[in-house]
Amino acid sequence: MRYISTRGRAPVLEFNDVLLTGLARDGGLYLPESWPQFDAAEIRAMRGLPYAVLAARVIAPFTGGQIAPSDLTAILHESYRNFGHEAVAPLRQLEVNLWVMELFHGPTLAFKDFALQFLGRAFDHVLRRRGERITIVGATSGDTGPAAIEACRDRDAIDIFFLYPQGRVSPVQRRQMTTVDAANVHAIAIEGNFDDCQDLVKAMFNDTVFRDELRLSAANSINWARIMAQIVYYFHAAVALGAPDRAISFAVPTGNFGNIYAGYAARAMGLPIDQLIAGANVNDILPRFFASGELRATTVTPTISPSMDIQISSNFERFLFELYGRDGAATQSALTEFRASGTLKVGDNLWQKARETFDGYRLDDDETRSVIGDIHAADGYLLDPHSAIGVAAARARRRDPATPIVALATAHPAKFPDAVQAASGVFPALPPVLADLHDRPERFEVLANDLGQIEAFIRAKVSAAGAA
């Protein structure tokens, strides 16, 4: 399996190098040269498999044999061994043909654990065999940082730095980063929004001197291995509900477009997905695109679903690349136009092509609270604000009521207790393993939105670690 950049000018790489590289050297994102294919019999044979075994079947083609099958299986079993539910990603039925897939039973109570528990162990496996060390830099709107830090803490061959927007993540999300007592972990609060954090990370990767000196790698969903690991739970849900002998749809609370893009990848691999619905809060650039064919950035507005307070969705580049027929030059030209003007209009033919699979839906904070309150009043089930948007999107935009639809529950309600309590009257408690989170001492840096200052900080910390 070989990997190409969405901008068409970076070296073609194999899996282990893509894993360690993260962002392509031309500024693009890596994708497989072609999609692995599963026929109906192969998908049918996935029914009833334990999650880790299913994951090995879905992921193995992407590794191209660079991780031995026995090692891959061992890594995946270890990745999901400590999840808080035996099914790992259990399905709960809310209504006729409407299901919630709970993706919050991992160690940091968010869907990011599915990819990052695997990613941390895959990094460790490859680095140990190569005798190498890397520096991970990433940006988070709330959940990626805790999950990446938890997966990479105390690993000898990794230093990890995560940028988050100061005051724009929940207290639980912040403390899951700032209370980790590990010398290789560094949480950085940036004076700005998530898009600023994401731009800083991309700028560090595009600074080739800094990138090569510190051997930068990525744990954000710009790293292909993140998307690859998230594809698995689409297969998991689909086969549980009758695939390949019936179609299935998904509604996904969407910020950086990585989670829903994994569904698009599963569809490209042969899974019979009828519809993918992108749910958003008032930062609704993606629903507006699917409604009009125009990508138009506006100001980021803080909401009670802060992980989706994003205007520039990095993984949308991967979808644009597919939409433009895998033409790297066309993709780069479109993105350059978007960065310059804040607007990108695709032709009607490409918009209609996107609409064949995708739809979008937007909720404001009051509407989100209503969904949380109504569902809790109906059967006592609590949703966090992001997951509530997913459920609402499924209800509002599903095309065929006869087709099962799964809304992805991406975070435990206890990660956003104030919002959930205001909507439902119930304060969701943290699981016992995190019960003392608010009593743990915090450790973080506050830095300006300044590339030079941030690079200097990271360089000093890595140098100090190397000298120790």
Which positions are catalytic? Answer: 112
Would you say 249 and 404 are in contact if contact means Cβ atoms under 8 Å apart?
Answer: yes
Tokens of 147: 């999950």
Tokens of 372: 């949380």
DSSP-derived 3-state class of residue 179? coil
The alpha helices in 13-143, defined as continuous H runs, are 15-21, 40-44, 51-63, 69-80, 112-130
DSSP-derived 3-state class of residue 153? coil
Q: In angstroms, rounded to a whole number, what is the distance separating the alpha carbons of residues 228 and 79? A: 14
- In 3D space, the residue among 320, 319, 354 whose CA is nearest the CA of residue 337 turns out to be 320
- In 3D space, the residue among 456, 374, 372 whose CA is nearest the CA of residue 421 turns out to be 372
Residue in the block written with tokens 């899951």: 176
Q: In angstroms, rounded to a whole number, what is the distance separating the alpha carbons of residues 448 and 117? A: 30
Omega of the bond prior to 401 within 30 degrees of 0, cis? no
Q: Write out the E strands in 87-151.
A: 91-95, 98-102, 134-139
